[in-house]
Amino acid sequence: MSQTIIEKVSEIVLPIVKEREFELADVVFEKLGKDYFLRVLIDKPGGITVNDTAEVSEVLAPLLDTIQPDPFPDHYMLEVASPGVEKPIKDEEDWSKAHGKYIHVNLYQAVDGVKQYEGDLISSTSDTIVLSYREKTRIKEIEIKKQLISKARLAIKF
């Protein structure tokens, strides 16, 4: 059900975002406690402003009410926001933009006994990524198949 909502919302919000020369970073529909949240994350070079999020929200909200049949299981809160510094990496364009940047990757199954990696993205193809990461005092490289990645995002290096 959640995937259907995400697909329908993405289809509606994409033209709104593109018209303003923004980027659709992510759409998330989740239940936290007893409340449902629909989060639409948008971005642009130089960053999104509060006015940008308000403008997209004002245009998007009435359009969501026109979806038939109504895919939402209950009342929900719409949040239009910036993805922040830990922007999700979702598609080939995101992977390309992330080259040379520090990222965090969660895996469906462990590779070399590890299910989470953080490091610099060295390269990516349509099937794999190569990550340079620190293990104790050594720098290592690992190749990870994209099909094993459950989530990827930009990360902050401490």
Q: What's the half-sphere exposure (Cβ side, CA atoms, 13 Å) at 75?
A: 2
| Nearest in space to 20 (alpha carbons), one of 65, 63, 54 | 54
Mean pLDDT over 13-18 rounds to 96
Cα–Cα separations (whole angstroms), residue 151 to 75, 94, 126:
27, 13, 16
- Domains (ranges, CATH) in the chain? 2-81 (3.30.300.70), 92-154 (2.30.30.180)
**For position 16, what pLDDT does the model report?**
96
Cα–Cα separations (whole angstroms), residue 6 to 54, 109, 121, 125, 148:
20, 25, 28, 26, 22
Lateral strand order in the sheet of 128-135: 138-145, 128-135, 114-124, 102-111, 149-154
**For position 107, what pLDDT does the model report?**
97
Query: Residue 158 — very low, low, confident or very high, per pLDDT cuts 50/70/90?
Result: confident
Please, which residues have CB within 8 angstroms of residue 70's CB and are 6 or more apart in sequence?
none
- Contact indicator for 52, 42 with CB cutoff of 8 Å: yes
pLDDT digits (tens, 9 = 90+) for 62-121: 999 888 888 887 789 999 999 988 999 989 999 999 999 999 999 999 999 999 999 999
